[in-house]
Amino acid sequence: MSSTERLRRIHLLLLPILFNSTAEQRGTARFPFWELIVPGSLFFGSQFCACRKMKRSEAWSMLTSNSYGPAPKNSDSAINILLDVVQDRSGKKYNMDHYATRYPTNTIDIANFLVRLTGKCFMYTSHFFRNGLSTSVSALKTTIPPILHYSGDEPFTKYEICLTFAKILGLPHDHIIPNAEAPSAADATTRPRDCHLYTRETEDLGVEGGLGLSLFEEWWTEYLKA
């Protein structure tokens, strides 16, 4: 299957818990995605099988996580739902994770990147077809890997996200209690402390505008006050 045909079949998979990444892993060599799956995760089996299937698929796949953006309801996103927590004036107390680091990723950024990625490839391929050549070419600097990673780059704990929302909305946050302890309960979901995806291969493609990441507080300030 040609690169162009594969670009017509892009899988977008949102995975909240997948990589147990460290600064050393992110900053040096590329690690196979299945080696970074958290072994103790409740989602280990299903994620491992899904990723192996994606790698063999005749399509490009993009992994992203911790997504936020416009949604029919806040509960559609693990990030958006924190707005409801901040705005809750019922007197309920919330014990909020201040241990694991997340990198919120804007869904509009994801869509815009895919448009720029596919548009650049289709544009150059169509040009060559019009000139009677059947070779599929790309304006990208490197070959697209079977699985792309796309992630925001600003680190937040869930508690820090709540503080950001409280600042934007001008609301108190004393009903939200930070918990900086690692999960210890037997039934607690095993999560990596740092959930950043490795995006260097995606950046190396040379797509115009790069990843095009929004700034978290800036985007929400504009969105909530629109």
- Which CATH number belongs to the domain containing residue 107 in this structure? 3.40.50.720
Model confidence pLDDT, tens digit, residues 168-198: 999 999 999 999 998 776 656 666 788 788 8
What is the percentage of the chain residues whose pLDDT exceeds 90?
A: 41
Q: Which of 151, 119, 147 minimizes the C-alpha distance to 61?
A: 147
Distances (CA, A) of 144 to 79, 111, 131: 29, 17, 24
Domains held by the chain: number: 1
Model confidence pLDDT, tens digit, residues 32-72: 443 444 334 434 444 445 555 555 555 677 888 889 999 99
- Which pTM value belongs to this model? 0.74
Domain that holds residue 103: 3-224
Instruction: Tokens for 170, please give them.
Output: 């001008």
Residue 14: phi and psi, rounded to 5, are -95, 115
